[in-house]
Amino acid sequence: MPLPVIPPLIAWALGALGAAAVAKVVVKEWRRVNAELDEVKDASTAEPAIEALPKLKRDPDTGVYRPN
């Protein structure tokens, strides 16, 4: 049984279309992941208010500083 033969031009065209489709999916996913990372980065760079931080007091028995 002979194998079906695809003309080279059609094979190249199908390969180019497939590569373009894969590239489009990769770019879309890349942008989505970067958007999520930017959200996390923006949230983590916000410094808490100094008043919200607990005050530390030294424990005289152990010498370790603990929240007040």
**pLDDT band (50, 70, 90) for residue 1:** low
Q: Is 67 helix (H, G, I), strand (E, B) or coil?
A: strand
- Interval 12-66: pLDDT, tens: 999 999 999 999 999 999 999 999 999 988 877 767 677 778 889 999 999 999 9
In this predicted structure, what is the pLDDT of residue 58?
94
35 φ, ψ to 5°? Answer: -65, -40
* pLDDT of 9 strictly over 80: yes
Record the pTM. 0.55
pLDDT of res. 54: 85
Tokens of 60: 């005289």
Q: Are 65 and 57 in contact (CB under 8 A)?
A: yes
Report pLDDT for 68: 76
Q: Which residues pair with 62 in a beta bridge?
A: none
